[in-house]
Amino acid sequence: MMMEYDLRGKGGILKLDAAAVQELMPAFVLGALDSEELMAVDDYLQEQRDLLARLEQLDEVTAQLAYVAPAQLLASKVKEQLLERARQDVANSGPPVQATNPFNAPASTARIPAFVTQQILPQGNQPPAVQPLRRLSTRPQPATAPARNWFGFVARTIIASSAAAAIILLILSTVQLRNKVDQLAAQISTSQQQVSLLESEKSQFQQINQQLQAQLDADRKQFAFYSQAEQVVTLTGTKDAPGARAEMYFSADQAQLVLHGLPPLPDTQTYQLWYIPTNAAPVPADLLTVRPDQNEAIALTVPPEQRNFAAIGITIEPAGGSPVPTLLVLQGSAT
């Protein structure tokens, strides 16, 4: 049996200890907790980091459940549209980073950064740093060159090749710097978009948080009313509504009626509440509306003269109510 826990602190706020959080963590990662338990577990994990590793383990287990889903046929257009969108995003953000698979790059070009080879080399060419030297070294010599000019020729060759290499290095550096600037500009643009998206999300989360907080406050008030009620009457369904039940909580001249299992009625009918004194006819009271698929909690004001009832009943009446009860569906005794 699951360990019972309820560590409500001041104000009725649920506080959990480590043992309770451990028990709830499988349901937490599944997203299967009620809002109160969810917030209590989240609060604990924010303040105490000791269970984060366990959370990660359970998250991995949960992720595996996705593989159990039956296999479906995924249309190829989904991939095509997504990749086209990505390409357009790259084009709009700046110079595209052409995708290369470094594991498949030929050895000669793998030593040179990919963006360099793509910017200045047609496909398939060798790195230019090698070619000028080879061309110069294989330049045919004049057949009749005098021997005393040989050193000058070598010197001129070395100087020319050095100059060519320097020029190429300068070009490479310029291209590299230019690409770096473009990349940084693209990153700034992306970051700005992300900030905008995050701000929008933050606003949405704040709104949701406010709604949850309002609901939580309402729930707490209701629970406080129930726990402090002076009198509680339990109503059970008659043979005409065997699945229905209700509880009515009284405190001073206020009451909360909680209905379960009553189906909604057509517009031509309504539920009606009756206070039944001892040895007297039932006194008609509030008309009640039930919404589909929800348990109703209805706040009522009890007339002082009806406070000393012997029993309570709920009937089905024509729209607008009735001075005398027609079809009894719920009844409960005050004692």
Partner 1 sequence: MQTERTENPPSPSDEALLQRIQQKDVLAYEQLYNRHAPTLYNLLMRIVRDQQIAEEVLQESLWLVWQRAEQYGGAGSVAAWLHRIARNRALDQLRHQQSRPQRRPEEISALVAAPALQRPSAAHEAETAWRQQQLYLALSSLPVEQQQCLELAYFDGMSQREIAEQTNTPLGTIKTRVRIGMEKVERLLRAAGLTERDSS
Binding site for partner 1 (CB under 8 A): 1-2, 23-24, 26-27, 29-34, 56-75, 78-79, 81-83, 85-87, 89-90, 93, 96-97, 99-101, 103-104, 186, 190, 193-194, 197
- Torsion, CA 235, CA 241, CA 243, CA 245, rounded to 10: -20
- The residue written with tokens 């409500």 in the block is 8
Is 76 or 278 the residue whose CB approaches partner 1 more closely?
76
Q: Quick one: which of 99, 45, 12 has its CA closest to 20?
A: 45
Q: How far is the CB of 31 from partner 1 (least distance, A)?
A: 6
Is 2 or 143 the residue whose CB approaches partner 1 more closely?
2
Is 50 or 60 the residue whose CB approaches partner 1 more closely?
60
Cβ atoms of 14 and 6 within 8 Å: the answer is yes
CA gap 278, 273 in Å, rounded: 16
Q: How far is the CB of 42 from partner 1 (least distance, A)?
A: 15
CA gap 303, 314 in Å, rounded: 17
Q: How far is the CB of 244 from partner 1 (least distance, A)?
A: 15
Is 29 or 248 the residue whose CB approaches partner 1 more closely?
29
Q: How far is the CB of 47 from partner 1 (least distance, A)?
A: 18
Q: How far is the CB of 205 from partner 1 (least distance, A)?
A: 13
Is 63 or 232 the residue whose CB approaches partner 1 more closely?
63
Q: How far is the CB of 293 from partner 1 (least distance, A)?
A: 8
Is 29 or 330 the residue whose CB approaches partner 1 more closely?
29
Is 59 or 253 the residue whose CB approaches partner 1 more closely?
59
- The residue written with tokens 């826990």 in the block is 5
Q: How far is the CB of 2 from partner 1 (least distance, A)?
A: 5
